[in-house]
Structure 1
Amino acid sequence: MSLPKRNLCFTIPSVYDDTELDCRLYYPRRTEQNSSLFGRGFAIVAHPYAPLGGSYDDPVVALAGNILLRQGFILITFNFRGAAGSSGRTSWSGKPELADYASVYGFALFYMDAIWRHRKQKQMQGNKEGDGQRLQHDSGAVPPTDRPLLVLAGYSYGSMITSHLPTLEVVAHLFEAPKEDSAEKEIQRRACDLARDGRAYIEMYTSDMTLSSPRGRRERWGEGAQNGQRSPPTPPHQHPQLHHPVTMGGYESDVASRRVSRESSRRSIDGERVKQSIDRVRHKMSVRKSASQQQSPTKSLPEDKTEGALEAKEMTRDATISPRIAYVLISPLLPPVAGLITMFSKLKLVTKTSNMCNSGPNQEHEGGEFEQLVRWPCLCVFGSKDVFTSDGRLQRWTEQLRARAGSQFVSIRTNSGHFWTDSEGIVRLQQGMIDWIAALSADGDKRSNKDDDGLAQGRSPDGIFPVEASPI
């Protein structure tokens, strides 16, 4: 099993040590069934242990990713350092990989913020212009109390890293007012640049679904469309720029460009993408060098890059929109295996400039290890025949998390192994995720109204999740 052709390939620097991380982004196809999450749902899926062949091309990553795409999520996958020829090498502590995931986490926050902020502003502008009635009937309009949903997922080693991610507050604090030429700033700019394509895609698909009937087309566009004064948008499946994969490499700052140049000799699974990225960086540096004698560096930047930088500054001034968070863990690794591959070191977020474990809110200070897995909705799917973690240990671990006060943790136990090769296990994994996502989506509006800061209110999992995904 594999994912569909990616829409975007790009790189971001890791906040741990600037190592370049290969990332892919996939757009979902909108259907009537996933319209409630289309443009509102975002997901990250992390892959298994790189030294054993794990990468973002892993079939279980593809299995989970396809489920999320069908439910309307914009999907992000990435390679940990050293995976499949990517830059860097796998660590013995897991801390660099945790920072790698946190880097993608930060990218996702900026990316969804740029999309959500634009849609909110567009809706407010439409209401001011007296077009609120049309927006109210547009299924793509943003409800005033709704917030985007971000699913943090991982399989095997990826689930171990996912389960130790810092809090939303810690990640937001890490990217708060980032310094120029820092990895955090480059991640913010890259997210703003790519969000423009995402916004166009979402708006196209929303318009296409709204205009599915001749009557809807006449009501929305009026007689002016027939006279050439105002024409409806091109449907997404006919739009040439939204379905060809886009490769994006290189950075805006000189420091970041030099960082990429040092990595120009590395091997990558996407050789053509890397070559194009390096060519862009070299061209950009040569343009800056020649333009510095005649004009300011800002004028030498492409127009879209300048817009991205301005949008990043706008996001820095304003508070980032706080999403709802949820977790998906597939075949999680527990001790002793988890200890062996991390040399029994304590997983905590460490960056180039700070140790985030000792700054800002942290899960250990708030309620113990794995607190995020009970604070937010979490689905854990594992097999009774897992060769890396015993069935008994997995059952005890999941029972302990479900027993915590206010826990939103839920688990599904199947008669499968670690690698999900049997058809029965695959079906249960698929159906379990589908049911859990459906319940999560249905509960979203009520939770948004009752919980302004996005924190859990101590509800029992029985009030959130379907029977099929009930505890073991």
Structure 2
Amino acid sequence: MLPEPTLRFTLPSVHDDTIIDCRVYHPHALTAFYHGPPWKRHAAIVAHPYAPLGGSYDDPIVDVVGETLLRAGFVVGTFNFRGAANSAGRTSWSSKAERGDYMSFVGFMIHYIHFLDPNAVRSPDRNATPADSGTLSHTSEASTTDGEGEGESDSRPLFVCAGYSYGAMITSQVPPLRDILAQFEEPKITSAAADIRLRAQHLAERQNTLMADLRSGHSMSPRKDRGLRFGGDEGEQGRSHDMRRPHSPHTEAKLRKGVNELLARRRGRRRRLSSRHSDDKDANGNANSTDTRLAHRSDDEVPQHLEKVADLIQVRPAYLLVSPLQGVITHLATMSFLAPLSSDAAQAAEDKLVTAPTLAVFGDRDVFVPMSKLRAWVDRLENINGSRFRGEEIKTAGHFWVEKMVLYKLRDAVAHFVTGLMGTPCVSS
């Protein structure tokens, strides 16, 4: 079972600003007094089943997959699609809106792990953070591509996009990671993408501050080191009491205040650069840096877009599909024949499952899908030249994984998949 989340918060969807409910869980390596191997910056998200049939991030299969990834050392994120539990809105007929919800959380998680630094040093200025002097540096030397076809020696951290049932269907439909992140490069200040980026930075910096304070003895004892929470009181909460409580206006106000503080810091940074830009010119008297050119703006000028994050963390995408919906049920569940993906978008979405490491794990007694169609789909993707797609069929398992011992087989399949990509051994239990 997943523990109490480190963070509970909301995000606006890039599709239409609908508010979606989110959680983030930190592995043991991100606790302040942990002395084992460091966090390798691996992260994952897990999407839940169909909301009108009761699906939410409290689903037991989401819980099992998320816990398995957490134990493997991943920062794990879960979220409620629109219309599920405490998220706003309602389930769409086409799944287009849900793809937007998924991409919103992907954008958040990438920027969150970029700014998250368990070794950040607390500034003497208690209102300052490491990001005030620029973005955090990372050791990865990866290219800006999705990294499909890279060797197993690739040192970039893993970013696993996972989903169960309907969540697996959405995972398979979203664009490749590079296309998702393009929406967040230089978004309009007033857009959902900009808000998501700023929330990710704010929450990561708050975690950095908390961990630094704990290490320096400025805050709570090690026994209370559970992370900073948004979504009600920030103290200790019982799981059964806390998990289903709606977010309060106070929670949203704190997040909004943090976002506004980040924007104010950016304006202050431009003013500081402007005050010294005359000393930062080349031999011809021209400004010699992007920051200096930006500083030439009037102090009163409000920027229209967020600046691109310098050296944004580069990750290795991987995909995990649990009980993926294939065949007629896909259309019955979402009426996606009313708004299908374009042929180019559909091809790009499928290509990412072939060029990046992908595991589709399913039971041979899944009555929600025609097994012949599911097996044919798996066989086709596995046999594409250079494919990194793999299917694993679990005998006696149904769609809900309630049959005897099958849940353990699912957990082991997930563990072997991710630890194999990490290059670490997995011990079955």
With normalisation by structure 2, the TM-score equals 0.71
Instruction: Quote the residue 1:409 is aligned against.
Output: 389
Aligned: 1:166 with 2:175: yes
1: CA distance, partners of 2:323 / 2:64: 13
Instruction: Quote the residue 1:380 is aligned against.
Output: 360
Q: Which of structure 1's runs of 4+ aligned residues deviate more than 6 A?
A: 34-37, 201-205, 308-315
C-alpha distance after superposition, 1:139-168 (max 9, x if no partner): xx9576732221100000000000011012
Cα 1:172–1:70 shift into 2, 3 Å: same
How does 1:138-149 map onto structure 2 within 5 Å?
146-149=155-158
Given candidates 399, 407, 414, the residue that maps to 1:426 is 407
Query: Structure 1: which 5+ residue stretches go unaligned?
Result: 123-140, 206-231, 250-267, 285-299, 349-356, 444-464
Cα 1:39–1:160 shift into 2, 3 Å: same
Whether the aligned pair in 2 keeps the contact of 1:36 and 1:441 (CA below 8 Å) is no
2: CA distance, partners of 1:423 / 1:234: 48
1: CA distance, partners of 2:403 / 2:41: 32
Given candidates 321, 331, 343, the residue that maps to 1:339 is 331
Whether the aligned pair in 1 keeps the contact of 2:195 and 2:259 (CA below 8 Å) is no
Instruction: Quote the residue 1:316 is aligned against.
Output: 308
Query: How far apart are 1:84 and its partner, in Å?
Result: 1.6
Whether the aligned pair in 1 keeps the contact of 2:325 and 2:369 (CA below 8 Å) is yes
Query: How far apart are 1:390 and its partner, in Å?
Result: 2.6
Query: How far apart are 1:3 and its partner, in Å?
Result: 2.0
2: CA distance, partners of 1:375 / 1:22: 31
Whether the aligned pair in 2 keeps the contact of 1:110 and 1:191 (CA below 8 Å) is yes
Letter in 1 for 2:372: G
Instruction: Quote the residue 1:222 is aligned against.
Output: none
- SS where residue 390 of structure 2 aligns? strand
Letter in 1 for 2:351: E
Given candidates 158, 173, 177, the residue that maps to 2:186 is 177
Cα 1:279–1:167 shift into 2, 3 Å: closer
Query: Whose helix proportion is higher, 1 or 2?
Result: 1
Aligned: 1:110 with 2:117: no
1: CA distance, partners of 2:3 / 2:216: 25
2: CA distance, partners of 1:392 / 1:166: 26
Query: How far apart are 1:111 and its partner, in Å?
Result: 1.2
Whether the aligned pair in 2 keeps the contact of 1:363 and 1:371 (CA below 8 Å) is no
Cα 1:179–1:405 shift into 2, 3 Å: same
Cα 1:87–1:382 shift into 2, 3 Å: same
Cα 1:37–1:400 shift into 2, 3 Å: farther
Query: Structure 2: which 5+ residue stretches go unaligned?
Result: 122-137, 143-154, 233-241, 270-302
Cα 1:309–1:159 shift into 2, 3 Å: farther
Instruction: Quote the residue 2:275 is aligned against.
Output: none
Aligned: 1:40 with 2:41: yes
- SS where residue 316 of structure 1 aligns? coil
Aligned: 1:151 with 2:160: yes
C-alpha distance after superposition, 1:27-72 (max 9, x if no partner): 11139xx966824110100000000000000000001000001001
Query: How far apart are 1:308 and its partner, in Å?
Result: 8.4
How does 1:59-74 map onto structure 2 within 5 Å?
59-74=60-75
Instruction: Quote the residue 1:260 is aligned against.
Output: none
Aligned: 1:96 with 2:97: yes
- SS where residue 83 of structure 1 aligns? coil
Given candidates 205, 213, 219, the residue that maps to 1:196 is 205
Whether the aligned pair in 2 keeps the contact of 1:236 and 1:242 (CA below 8 Å) is no
Query: How far apart are 1:273 and its partner, in Å?
Result: 2.4
- SS where residue 23 of structure 2 aligns? strand
Query: How far apart are 1:347 and its partner, in Å?
Result: 4.8
Instruction: Quote the residue 1:221 is aligned against.
Output: none
Cα 1:326–1:317 shift into 2, 3 Å: closer
Whether the aligned pair in 2 keeps the contact of 1:197 and 1:242 (CA below 8 Å) is no
2: CA distance, partners of 1:112 / 1:201: 16
Whether the aligned pair in 1 keeps the contact of 2:172 and 2:349 (CA below 8 Å) is no
Whether the aligned pair in 2 keeps the contact of 1:7 and 1:27 (CA below 8 Å) is yes
Aligned: 1:246 with 2:220: no
- SS where residue 84 of structure 1 aligns? coil
- SS where residue 29 of structure 2 aligns? coil
Query: How far apart are 1:269 and its partner, in Å?
Result: 7.4
With normalisation by structure 1, the TM-score equals 0.65
